[in-house]
Amino acid sequence: MTDAVTLITTKRDGGHLSDDDIRWLFDAYARREVADEQMSALLMAIYFQGLDGRELRTWTAAMIDSGERLDLTSLTRPTVDKHSTGGVGDKVSLILAPLVASCGGAVPQLSGRGLGHTGGTLDKLESIPGFRTALSPAETIAVLARVGCVICAAGSGLAPADRRLYALRDVTGTVESIPLIASSIMSKKIAEGTSALVLDVKVGSGAFMTDLDRARELARTMVALGEEHNVRTTAVLTRMDTPLGRAAGNAVEVEESVQALQGHGPADLMEVTLALAAQMLALAGLDADPAAAIADGRALAAYRDMVRAQGGDPDAPLPQAQYVQTALPAIADGWLRRLDALAVGTAAWRLGAGRARKEDPVSAAAGVICLAKPGDRVTKGQPLLELRADDPGKMAAALAVLDGAATVSDQPLPPLPSPVIEQIP
């Protein structure tokens, strides 16, 4: 007879869990017959010993089977989604979902909230007056059918085992395990019922993955899981050493997203967005030009339709911070060489745009605006950032993390590398 202690010691000693072992584990854990302490011990063993391909496939399937699946078969459009591993200023989903919808796709974007220095798509959208992110499965499908895109929270019924396991990983130092990350992301994405998926795996100082080789390993692991569960999946590795675009926060990122949909987005943001859009459209079998959909206003119209369908007012003024302060003066005349994404993201978090724990509130108006980006000509003393907050007492903590966040070169820089590194496969 299978028991939790045997599974823990098997994995601790480098052994392999059978398919029946894994299925028993999740079933017993759902019935509370396996204690959180035992599951935590097993997660730590997996952190050190890993899961092989078969174990990971079964582990992910058991997480999916722990709950319900969203049934999108009633939709007439091809379904395709995107997931980002998170970064600073990463408002791509706000632009991408309506953009792909305006090209004929159905985008069921089930998103999350920010934690630490990385922003959350739901927090950003909730800065729009009236916008609802908590939709029932029926409401989600209705918005998808009417508009072609929806951005909302994953319902509690989708992969509920992941919610419990993530809470354990968060407090036991086992978050940074590639098989556990991959199964967490992919169980939710497969359960949402999409037929195709593009993964945006961020790499750099402001990303969860700072090492390119580990980012590649994560991307390949997730692509394999998607394909094994009959979801056409590709991954794109993108840079996250510098904030994406110029805004990091909530309302400030919504504002920049609308500007992007109007055709005025920063070059790096648009390059990433259009690269991901091209991949999504290809997987969905749609022959369309996403740049043309921005230029002729279709993408912006789809965004406005989505906001209205989810209870928001696309014309309502966005929250504005009460306190604004410039920061990070350039140390010399020259060209901005580096603007550290982690420092900027942490500053935005400390200003109130992010949270330390999932239950913490966030400020809609707080954030950071990049007044200059790498490659720009700057003069000594010129402020490189603008800080925004509702509470002036938060400025000092934000300023403290920005010391040394920028470097200036006395020589013009060579052309900056593309923010898109490579595609997998």
Q: How many Å is the Cα radius of gyration of the chain?
A: 22
pLDDT at position 156 is 87
Looking at the fold, whether 205 and 174 belong to one and the same domain comes out as yes
422 assigned to some structural domain: no
Mean pLDDT of 199-206: 97
pLDDT at position 325 is 98
pLDDT at position 6 is 97
117, 188, 350, 394: the catalytic one is 188
169, 189, 304, 394: the catalytic one is 169
Active site residue 184: yes
Above 80 in pLDDT, residue 397?
yes
Looking at the fold, whether 257 and 354 belong to one and the same domain comes out as no
- Number of domains composing the chain: 3
Determine the angle formed by the axes of helices 92-102 and 251-261, rounding to 10 degrees: 30
90, 162, 200, 340: the catalytic one is 162
Contact 366, 348 (CB under 8 A): yes
User: Residue 333 sits in a domain of what CATH number?
Assistant: 3.90.1170.30
Looking at the fold, whether 89 and 229 belong to one and the same domain comes out as yes
pLDDT in tens, 65-82: 999 999 999 999 999 999
Looking at the fold, whether 9 and 146 belong to one and the same domain comes out as no
417 assigned to some structural domain: no
Mean pLDDT of 151-159: 92
Looking at the fold, whether 371 and 226 belong to one and the same domain comes out as no
61 assigned to some structural domain: no
Contact 369, 252 (CB under 8 A): yes
66, 127, 183, 184: the catalytic one is 184
Mean pLDDT of 347-368: 91
Above 80 in pLDDT, residue 359?
no
11, 57, 83, 350: the catalytic one is 83
Active site residue 83: yes
pLDDT-derived band of residue 246, with 50, 70 and 90 as boundaries?
very high
68 assigned to some structural domain: no
pLDDT-derived band of residue 1, with 50, 70 and 90 as boundaries?
confident
Above 80 in pLDDT, residue 382?
yes
User: Residue 34 sits in a domain of what CATH number?
Assistant: 1.20.970.10
Looking at the fold, whether 126 and 270 belong to one and the same domain comes out as yes
Above 80 in pLDDT, residue 385?
yes
Above 80 in pLDDT, residue 195?
yes
Mean pLDDT of 165-187: 93
Looking at the fold, whether 254 and 388 belong to one and the same domain comes out as no
Give percent of the chain above pLDDT 70. Answer: 100
Looking at the fold, whether 194 and 89 belong to one and the same domain comes out as yes
- Tell me which amino acid residue 140 is: T
Question: In terms of residue numbers, what domain contains 327?
Answer: 323-409
Lowest mean pLDDT among 175-179, 290-294, 377-381: 175-179
Contact 99, 293 (CB under 8 A): yes
pLDDT-derived band of residue 114, with 50, 70 and 90 as boundaries?
confident
Mean pLDDT of 146-150: 98
Looking at the fold, whether 298 and 328 belong to one and the same domain comes out as no
Above 90 in pLDDT, residue 357?
no
Whole-number average pLDDT of the chain? 96
Looking at the fold, whether 134 and 93 belong to one and the same domain comes out as yes
Active site residue 189: no
Give percent of the chain above pLDDT 90. Answer: 93
Looking at the fold, whether 214 and 145 belong to one and the same domain comes out as yes
Looking at the fold, whether 292 and 363 belong to one and the same domain comes out as no
The residue among 255, 283, 309 that closes a domain is: 309
Above 90 in pLDDT, residue 240?
yes
pLDDT at position 74 is 97
